[in-house]
Amino acid sequence: MGIKGFENFCKINTDRCFQSVTIRNEILVIDGSELFYHFYDACEGRAPLDQFREQAIKFYTNLRTCGIRPVIVFDGFKYGSNHEKVFNQAVKVIAEMEQFIKEEKIDGTNKLPFCRTILATVNQELGIPFVNGVGDMNSSTAAIANLLGAKVLASDTEYCVHNLSHGWLPVRYFKWNDDAEISRVGGITAKFYHIEHFSRQYNIPTNVVSYLDIFFGRKSYFPEGYFQSFVDQHFGV
C-alpha cells in the first residue's frame, strides 16, 4: 500500500527526494506484483493478452540490452490464511479460465488470471529468476536486494523507510520503454531514492527516516513547509 502522504510529498518535491540516474550493467530486484499491474494497466487494446505478453517480453529485452539482470519477487498468501479458501478460489479461477476459452470470450474484462499465467510463462521462457513468497514480501524483497547488492524497482513508498544499501527506483520514473533514450545512453533513465540522500536533503538522521511511515501516516497530503518546520525544530543545528 505504501505511505500515501510520503508518496504525494515526493511527487511535489521530486528534485529534493530523488536523483536522476541511468541504470545499466547491474542486478535489479523487482517487486513482481507491481510489475504485473504495470503491464496489466497498459493493456487495453482488442488483443489484451497478446499485448500483455509483448509488454513483458519487451521489458525484459530492454533490460538485457542494458546489461540489467532482473530478479523478480512475488507476494503470496499469508500463513494465517484459510488454506481451503485459497484452494477453492484457485479452482474457481481455473474453471472460469476454461469457460472463457471454451466460449472464446477472452477480453479486457476477464484478462486478469490469464495475464498472471502469461507473466509466469514469460519468466520461465526467458530464464528470469523469480521468488514466490509468503504474504507481503516488501521486507524480504529489501533483504534480498541488500544480499545481492542491488537496487529495488517498485512503486510502494514503503521502500523509502527500508534501509536499502543500494536504494529504490520508483516504477513511475523507470523509462524502460523509451527505446530512443536507451539507444542514446546505453541504459535506462530513472529517478533514484536513497535514505542517506534524503537525510542530507532534510538534515535528519537516517535512523529517523525509518519512522517516516509513522510521521506521514495515511494522510493524502503533507505540506513541505510543515515537514521542514518539524525537521528544523527537532534536528536543526
pLDDT at 79: 43
Per-run averaged pLDDT (10 residues), the chain, 237 residues? 64 86 97 86 72 92 98 68 56 59 52 76 93 75 93 87 88 95 97 89 78 61 63 64
pLDDT at 24: 98
pLDDT at 77: 47
Alpha helices, DSSP H only, in 18-72? 32-42, 48-65
- Does residue 62 contact residue 126 with C-beta atoms inside 8 Å? no
- Does residue 159 contact residue 194 with C-beta atoms inside 8 Å? no
Question: Rounded to an integer, what distance in angstroms lies between the CA atom of residue 62 and that of residue 208?
Answer: 37
- Smallest CA-to-CA distance from 125 within 71, 62, 57 is with 57
Question: Rounded to an integer, what distance in angstroms lies between the CA atom of residue 48 and that of residue 104?
Answer: 14
φ, ψ for residue 188, nearest 5 deg: -110, 120
189 CB-near residues (< 8 Å, 6+ apart): 20, 21, 22, 23, 175, 178, 181
- Smallest CA-to-CA distance from 171 within 12, 32, 16 is with 32
Question: Rounded to an integer, what distance in angstroms lies between the CA atom of residue 192 and that of residue 18?
Answer: 5
Write out the three cell numbers for 64.
Answer: 538485457
Write out the three cell numbers for 174.
Answer: 523507470
* Pairing between β-strand 130-132 and β-strand 19-23 as defined by DSSP bridges: unpaired
φ, ψ for residue 114, nearest 5 deg: -65, -40
For the chain, helix, strand, coil in percent to 5 are 55, 15, 30
CATH number of the structural domain 19-192: 3.40.50.1010
Question: Rounded to an integer, what distance in angstroms lies between the CA atom of residue 131 and that of residue 48?
Answer: 26
* Pairing between β-strand 19-23 and β-strand 188-192 as defined by DSSP bridges: antiparallel
Q: Domain limits of the chain?
A: 19-192
